[in-house]
Each structure stands twice: as structure tokens, then as C-alpha cells.
Amino acid sequence: MILQGVSVCPGCTLSRSYLLAEPPAFDLAKKADEPVADALRRIDEAFASIAAELTASKEEYAAAGACEQADLMDVQMAMLEDSFFRDQITAAAEAGLAPSAAVLSSGKEQEDMLLALNDDYMSARAEDIHDLSLRIACQIEGLARPDLSGLTEDCVVIAKQLLPSTLMSAKVEHIKGLVIGNGTKTSHVSILASGLQIPTVVGCGNVSMVKEGETVYLDGEKGTLCCAMSAEELAACEKELNAFRKQRETLLTYGTRSFESRDGVKSGLYMNITDPCELLRPADCTNDGVGLFRSEFLFLDRKTLPSEEEQYEAYAQAAKALGGRPLTIRTIDIGGDKNAPALALPQEENPFMGYRAVRICMDRSDLILTQLRAILRAAVHGDIRVMFPMIATVSELDVMLDYLKLAASQLTKENISHRADIKVGIMVEIPSAVIMLDQLLARIDFVSIGSNDLVQYTFAADRLNEKVSYLNKFMHPAVLRLIHQTVSVTREHGKECSLCGEMAGDRVGLAALAILGLRKFSMSSSKLLRAKRLMSMLDLGALRSLQEPLLHARDAEEAVALLKQSLPGEYFGA
């Protein structure tokens, strides 16, 4: 039997299943059998106890360099200290609910409100509230929560739901895979699992079909779990696992190789990161630096904006870890599918087409100046570059450049050490930027194509809307023509051009981009090794003749078919 879910972290494993117990059941309408003052006291004690646990855990994780876990402690502490959440609980207790019911019913109100927004990011925040509410309720009632801290053997953990706090307390060395019934790619559990490099599948609704202790095969890249296997199916999975291990061994041989094609054409290979801590992990693949630092993740899940000092420390840490290799920092790209509570942004019917990124910064000089000051200060520690997202017009870029000059001027007047001569670029993700690229390039040093948003804005189709998902294809010739024009015009002006969207890490996308003339690729660290192997199979001189047919294909399917007919057969098995 094959169960299908959503891939979060790649990798294959064959192991015994471990069914995680479900959390205790609570009556959210239970009435208190004690005076209100006693109920409130018990709630206060539970809050204090959990605050102490979170503080201790954060210190432990920070000391061990476990940044994702330490950051999650901050998230839960912020929710614990939220006055609105606390006031709701107090009101529920004063209305006669038992302490645990007061906590859980108040939490559920917030969960339902966030889930009603039908947004992946907000759904993940609802998960965090549920986690904390359950933790408080169990503390009040003296009940145990689902626990993975006692694992003694290797296993694939099967769970209808897995709370972030449960994973963080686990003996992760025994967890060879995770299969979760609910969840999304952007949930905190998914982020943690990716950081821990545990093969993970979420949104697998049929996990109840798995039996305790049976042998299961998890393919994290395909997002599948094989269970209830016959002897023949088990043998097939063992064969597939051996092939995966051999492939992994082969990929590791590319770790220190240069990123070049079979005919010797060299390209730049860069990482996309969201946290400086990603640079502290042992690297299995050499690269040329960071092509995209998503700085907005410093702003998410918090009630207050990060200070200049906090941002400076994060950027400086990343620059130092790179040892002189470039660090390209994208300025805050909030809006669309990313929200920062501290900014109190208005709800919009179509946020992807609305108030986001530089459009917010143009109104909030305090926001962008604080960030630019931090970037310029951190630039003394390495080759830091700044990149502005969502540029649609020349006038928007001019405003951002004026802010950059002002930030440098302020630091000079305050006699604060900084570098003002850093390279400046933009994200090319709106068709108008491609059309006006000659004028934009006269003001900047480089561009980076954001293929995810470029596809979205080319077809005016929300990439999170399943009903128009048929338009979300980066191999469509309309997108390929925009990319080719960007690469060509940038080269004519003697400037750098890269691509940092999902297309760079896709085997078909990588080949198409190389054929179109791109020579600088940025992708998640997990895709670097395979990219090196794939590039080594391409004879770009021979494939140059495919450029025109790709640009004049009828649709994405025809473009992909052209590549499959022309690329070596082993390319699609690598």
C-alpha cells in the first residue's frame, strides 16, 4: 500500500514504524469546580512553569548552536506573553470555565480565526497556538503529552499530528523519517524537520492505515510511504533504497568539484538561506556563497520589529561564516504569503498583487533605514550585497537607492563603522522590470531572477491557488522568453545575472536556464550536489541549438519534451 503526502525533506529510509500517541482529550466546555481566584492561580502557575521551561530550553539550544529550536522557543515565549491571548483566557475562566478549558477554548478561537484565512502561513501559526495551548492545559491537569524522548531504536515516526515541541524534545538520532497526517511545508514542524535533515512527508491523510512496528519505506522526495508490504514489495523497496544510497555516494563525490558543464563551461553555484545558522552546519558541497538571504524571516512570528543591532548581528554572523564569499541580502519581502504581526498590515483580498516588499518600505522609512543601516554595518565583515525585491518601476528603485544613501550618510555622521560601496541589485520578478531592464541596469550592479513570482505575475495566477495551478509552469515559453531577455540584456550591459527561484534546483529547469545563457544559479543547500552532477552531463555547446526551439515552443509540455529528446538519458536518472 502506498500513501501519498507532500514532500518536505528528501531522503529514503526503510525502518520500523512508531505510532505516536494522540494528545489527551479535553472537554472545552468543562465548568470549573473551584472559585475563580483558584482557577486563575492555577493558570498563572502553569504559565510561569512553562515560561521557565521555554527559557531553559532556549539557552540549551542556543548553546548547542541549534538555531531553529532556539527560534521556536522565542515564538512560543512571545505567544505566552501575548496580552490578548492571556486576557481571553482570563475572561473565559471568569465566565466559569475550568482552567484547562479556558486555555484550550481561547486558543481554539484564535486557531479558527487563522485557519479561516485559508493561508498556509497563517495555518502554520494556528499550529503553534494549538501546541502552546495543549502544553499549558496538560501542565494544569498534570497530564502527559505525546512524547518522543524515550526512543531507543531507529524508526519512522507516524503521527496524525506532530507538535513542534514534541519533535524538539525527541531523541532525533533514532528518528529516520517523519510521516504526518496534517501540516504544510511552511509549518514549524516542517521547518524543524528540514533543519534536522530528517526525511519528512506531511499532509498524508491515511496514516491510520499504518500498523505499529511494521516495516515501512519512506521516500521523502516523492512524498510517499509504503506500508503493509508483501515480500515482493519489500524486496522492491530494498532495491530502491540501495539505489538511493549508491546515488547519494555518487553525489558526494561531486562535493568539491567545480560547477561546470561537460564541455567545460563554468557557472556560479550559490545557496539560498533563511537563517545564518544554516552556514554553521558541516557542508557536503562547496559553493560560491549565498545568492539569497531571505531577511524577512527575522521579522516573522514576533510582536516587535527586530532592532538594528539584532539585524546587524545576524548579517555579520552570516558574512563571517562565508569567509569572504558573497552574501546577497534581500531586503524585507513581507506581504503576499508572509505576514509580520509587528507591522499590523491590513488584510487584502489579493495580497500577492498588493501591498508588499518595497511598496511597504516606501511608506515606512523607519523600517527600511533600520535594515539598510544594519546591512552597511555588517558589510565591514565580508562581501555583502543588498538586493531589493518586487521592483516594478524605475522610480521605486530610485527611492530605495536614496534610502541606501541616507543610511550611509547617517552612519557617517554618527561615526559608526560601515561600508557604503557595496554592490546593489534587484529581484526581477515582475514583467515590467524585464521591459524596463535597460534603465534599471544603469543604476545597479546585478539582478537576480525570482522565478516563483515571475511565473505568478506573468500569468496573473496566484501560485497558492490550486484552481489555477495549471498556469504555474516555469517551463512555459512565455516565462522562458522573459528569462532569456533578462539574461541577454544584463550581459549586454556587463552586469551580473542569477536566478534564485525553485527553477534553479529543478533538473529540467537547470538545463533550460543553462541553454538560455544563465551562468549563476542559487538554490537550497540540499540541491547543490545534484546540480553539480546534472551540469556535468550537459554539453552546452551542442545544446545551444535548442535555444530557439525552446523559446518558440507552444507550451510548457512541448518545451519539456524538447529537452527530454535532446538531453542524455542518464540526466533524468541522476
Helical (H) or strand (E) element with 448: strand 446-449
d(CA 248, CA 93): 56
Task: Please state the CATH superfamily assignment of the domain spanning residues 253-572 in this structure.
Answer: Phosphoenolpyruvate-binding domains (3.20.20.60)
Mean pLDDT calculated for residue range 221-241: 93
Report whether pLDDT(449) > 50.
yes
Q: Give the 3-state DSSP-derived string for 79-111, with helices as H, strands as E and coil as C.
A: HHCCHHHHHHHHHHHHCCECHHHHHHHHHHHHH
500 is catalytic: yes
pLDDT band at 344 (very low <50, low <70, confident <90, very high): low
Q: What is the pLDDT of residues 137-159, one digit of tens each?
A: 999 999 888 888 889 999 999 99
Q: What is the pLDDT of residues 293-318, one digit of tens each?
A: 988 878 765 667 888 998 999 999 99
Residue appearing with cell numbers 500577492: 352
d(CA 390, CA 400): 11
Residue appearing with cell numbers 486558543: 107
Choose among 104, 102, 121, 111: nearest CA to 32: 102
Report whether pLDDT(120) > 70.
no
- pLDDT at residue 472, rounded to an integer: 82
d(CA 146, CA 143): 10
Q: What is the mean pLDDT of the chain?
A: 88
- pLDDT at residue 337, rounded to an integer: 45
- pLDDT at residue 336, rounded to an integer: 47
Q: Where are the domains of the chain?
A: 2-17+147-250, 36-141, 253-572
- pLDDT at residue 359, rounded to an integer: 78
Report whether pLDDT(185) > 80.
no
From the list 67, 155, 188, 381, the catalytic residue is 188
Q: Give the 3-state DSSP-derived string for 194-253, with helices as H, strands as E and coil as C.
A: HHCCCCEEECCCCHHHCCCCCEEEEECCCCEEECCCCHHHHHHHHHHHHHHHHHHHHHHC
Identical fold between 36-141 and 253-572: no
- Cα angle, residue 339 at apex, residues 338 and 343 outer, rounded to 5°: 145
CATH architecture of the region 36-141: Orthogonal Bundle (1.10)
- pLDDT at residue 471, rounded to an integer: 83
b/e string for 479-504 if b means 16 or more Cβ within 10 A?
bbbbbbbbbebbeeeebbbbbbbbbb
For the chain, the residue count is 574
Mean pLDDT calculated for residue range 74-97: 87
Q: Which CATH class is domain 2-17+147-250?
A: alpha beta
Torsion, CA 189, CA 191, CA 194, CA 196, rounded to 10: -70
Report whether pLDDT(239) > 80.
yes
From the list 204, 237, 497, 500, the catalytic residue is 500
Choose among 332, 248, 315, 333: nearest CA to 279: 315
188 is catalytic: yes
Look up the pTM and report it. Answer: 0.71
Q: What is the pLDDT of residues 470-509, one digit of tens each?
A: 888 999 999 999 999 999 999 999 999 999 987 998 899 9
Mean pLDDT calculated for residue range 269-273: 92
Number of neighbouring beta carbons within 10 Å of residue 348: 13
